[in-house]
Amino acid sequence: MHSTHHSMKLLTSLILTAFLSACTVGPNFVAPQSPSTKNFTREGDQLNTDSQHIVMDKQIESNWWSVFQSQQLNDVMQQALAGNHNLASMQATLSEAQAQVDAASGALDPQVSLGASAGRQKYGKSLFGPSDFHISPFTYYSVGPQVSYLLDFAGGKRRGIEQQKALAQYQMYETDAAKLSLTGNVVSQVMGITSAKAQISVIEQIIADDQKNIALIQTAKSIGSATQPDVLSAQSQLAVDQALLPPLQQQLSAATHALAVLVGQAPADWHEPNFTFTEFHLPAELPLSLPSELVRNRPDIMAAESQLHAASAAIGVATANLYPSLTLNANMTQQALTPAKLFDISSNAWALAGGLSAPLFNGGTLQAQKHAAEDAYQGALANYQQVVLQSFGQVADVLKALEHDDQQIKAQQHALDTAQSTLKLVQTSYQLGNIGVPQVLDAQRQYHKAALSIVKTKVQQYQDTALLYLALGGGALSKNS
């Protein structure tokens, strides 16, 4: 009994000594400083247009696409968020990463197991030297708990848990980025559908006008005021305009099929809403944050920071491997020669041991691993800085695109108004017999070209508005981040 008490006292002393001397080696992670730049563009970040203006530090809601005020878009987006398989895969990977954190954290606790064994054994005669003493074959039984505890006095296990937590955060932000990318792709495909439909509508009007022109010229030819080349020219123009339809119809089909895949359904099984361009509304107020705040709002930047944190913790793990490790093992068993004697007080047996292991020579492997971890950290830091710069470039590009969209729409609206007025004058002159068919066709061509251009630019303005929300992070960061 005294021996047991002495051993337990020794074990307690070892544990207390180890805890008092415990430390966590390696660098403590510090997030990179926010960038000092104040603007995204050299000219400043104001958007001076008639239709839109910037509101600094405006909160972006997680359902950022609702700014377009389309219920059909809202419904399709909810289908995509619930049914997209890529997003479901990312969410499962996130759950896996979080479970890995729990698994790593468990290594800090004592590991307890229950062991039991039974066997039959015979000792050889030579074991007892030159004597006639021998032990007959016997059967033995043993049962009892075993405890193992690794004293993490260098902090290697704690750094490993820190690394796992950083990797789980990385996966969380990657899931946020996948969600943001999904919502952006849905809006892009919906805008592609509305753009194709709007252009098809214009082309169909052009074709209808071409057919009217042919009928008009054929009538003029019958009374001698037009020639056969005039008829052929009008028919040729009709064929050219009809050739514009198939590419737009293919664009519409491709966007529709892509949208079906995004919502998690086969194109043959999904019936998309009847989107029209007129159901969308352009938001007048656009959000914008300072560059120093953007780094906290974009999931790809936060993911890069989490990778940097994991690389920092990896240095601590590699550094801890250079230090000695101490493992304590203990067991208390019941040992007997017959099952009936098990759990008898006379069958009590116990063991207590401490194992110390320290690296002495390994050919420089551990130092090389530490240097490799430090190099990996520098690589992760450079990657983080590049992601930040790219995000600034994206915001700058979109701000300029919105400014140029507004300028282009104004110019094209003026061109459309001018072309429409010119067409009316030319048609009147033709009816009076002052000009011929070529002038009429040319005026119509200019008008239709202006009508197509303004449709494309208006759709692009909506696309660029969506891109601004995406470039600012789209309110996609997880609430527990």
Give domain status of residue 13, yes or no. no
Asked whether the predicted pLDDT for residue 480 surpasses 60, the reply is no
Give the pLDDT band (50/70/90) at residue 1: very low
Average confidence (pLDDT) over 148-154 = 83
Give domain status of residue 3, yes or no. no
Instruction: Determine which helix (DSSP H) or strand (DSSP E) holds 48, and give its type and residue range.
Output: none
Residues 386 and 422 in one domain: yes
Which region among 16-20, 113-117, 284-288, 377-381 has the lowest average model confidence (pLDDT)? Answer: 16-20
Distance CA 378, CA 382 (A): 6
Average confidence (pLDDT) over 268-276 = 92
Residues 79 and 180 in one domain: yes
Which region among 2-11, 283-292, 442-451, 459-468 has the lowest average model confidence (pLDDT)? Answer: 2-11
CB–CB of 444/209 below 8 Å?
Answer: yes
Q: Which CATH number characterizes residue 398's domain? A: 1.20.1600.10
Phi and psi at 112, nearest 5°, equal -115, 135
Average confidence (pLDDT) over 360-379 = 93
Residues 344 and 372 in one domain: no
Give domain status of residue 2, yes or no. no
CB atoms closer than 10 angstroms to residue 20: 8
CB–CB of 447/262 below 8 Å?
Answer: no
Q: Tokens in use for 432?
A: 């009076």
Dihedral over Cα of 135, 140, 145, 148: its sign: positive
Instruction: Determine which helix (DSSP H) or strand (DSSP E) holds 351, and give its type and residue range.
Output: strand 348-357
Domain boundary among 357, 376, 410: 357
Residues 147 and 177 in one domain: no
Which region among 124-133, 363-372, 424-433 has the lowest average model confidence (pLDDT)? Answer: 124-133
CA angle 293, 297, 299 (to 5 degrees): 140
Looking at the DSSP assignment, which residues form a beta bridge with residue 122? none
Residues 203 and 344 in one domain: no
Give burial (CB, 10 Å; 0-12/13-18/19+) of 471. Answer: buried
DSSP state of 51: S
CB–CB of 262/182 below 8 Å?
Answer: yes
The count of C-alpha atoms lying within 13 angstroms of the C-alpha of 471, restricted to the half-sphere facing its C-beta, is 25
Domain boundary among 313, 336, 357: 357
pLDDT digits (tens, 9 = 90+) for 395-407: 999 999 999 999 9
User: What residue has token string 């101490």?
Assistant: 326
User: What residue has token string 């030159």?
Assistant: 130
Give domain status of residue 66, yes or no. yes
Which region among 123-137, 151-165, 402-416, 447-461 has the lowest average model confidence (pLDDT)? Answer: 123-137
Instruction: Determine which helix (DSSP H) or strand (DSSP E) holds 475, and give its type and residue range.
Output: none
Give the pLDDT band (50/70/90) at residue 141: confident
Those residues with Cβ within 8 angstroms of residue 299's Cβ, 6 or more apart along the chain or in another chain: 173, 174, 176, 177, 180, 473, 476, 477
Give domain status of residue 21, yes or no. no
CB atoms closer than 10 angstroms to residue 360: 5
Those residues with Cβ within 8 angstroms of residue 362's Cβ, 6 or more apart along the chain or in another chain: none
Residues 135 and 245 in one domain: no
Looking at the DSSP assignment, which residues form a beta bridge with residue 142? 117, 335
Residues 265 and 123 in one domain: no
Average confidence (pLDDT) over 166-188 = 96
Number of domains in the chain: 2
Average confidence (pLDDT) over 6-16 = 51
| Winning range, highest mean pLDDT, from 21-30, 115-124, 203-212, 216-225 | 203-212
Instruction: Determine which helix (DSSP H) or strand (DSSP E) holds 478, and give its type and residue range.
Output: none
Tell me the pTM: 0.85
Give burial (CB, 10 Å; 0-12/13-18/19+) of 153. Answer: buried
Asked whether the predicted pLDDT for residue 340 surpasses 80, the reply is no
Residues 221 and 179 in one domain: yes
Residues 338 and 460 in one domain: no
User: What residue has token string 């240095």?
Assistant: 315
Give domain status of residue 8, yes or no. no
Give domain status of residue 1, yes or no. no
Residues 304 and 394 in one domain: yes
pLDDT digits (tens, 9 = 90+) for 232-241: 988 998 999 9
Q: List, as one string, the DSSP characters of 128-141.
A: G-SSS-----EEEE
| Residue/partner pairs of 202-207 with CB below 8 Å, 24 or more apart | 202/448, 202/451, 202/452, 202/455, 203/241, 203/244, 203/245, 203/248, 203/452, 204/245, 205/448, 206/241, 206/244, 206/444, 206/448, 207/238, 207/241, 207/242, 207/245
Higher pLDDT residue, 273 or 51? 273
Q: Which CATH number characterizes residue 336's domain? A: 2.20.200.10
What pLDDT score was predicted for residue 127? 67
Residues 142 and 226 in one domain: no
What pLDDT score was predicted for residue 12? 52
Percentage of residues of the chain with pLDDT beyond 90: 53
For residue 214, CA distances in Å to 208, 426, 427, 449, 466 come to 10, 16, 14, 20, 43
What pLDDT score was predicted for residue 5? 53
Average confidence (pLDDT) over 460-475 = 94
Average pLDDT of the chain, as a whole number: 87
Residue range(s) defining the domain that contains residue 138: 111-151+326-357
What pLDDT score was predicted for residue 345? 79
Average confidence (pLDDT) over 135-159 = 84
Question: Which parts of 275-364 fold into alpha helices (H)?
Answer: 291-297, 299-320
Asked whether the predicted pLDDT for residue 42 surpasses 90, the reply is no
* Backbone angle region of 381, left / alpha / beta, with phi > 0 → left and psi within -120 to 50 → alpha: alpha
User: Which residue type sits at 347?
Assistant: S
Residues 250 and 335 in one domain: no
Higher pLDDT residue, 139 or 312? 312
Give the pLDDT band (50/70/90) at residue 45: confident
Distance CA 153, CA 17 (A): 10
Asked whether the predicted pLDDT for residue 479 surpasses 70, the reply is no
Those residues with Cβ within 8 angstroms of residue 466's Cβ, 6 or more apart along the chain or in another chain: 65, 68, 184, 187, 188, 191
CB–CB of 46/40 below 8 Å?
Answer: no
Give burial (CB, 10 Å; 0-12/13-18/19+) of 219. Answer: exposed
Give domain status of residue 445, yes or no. yes
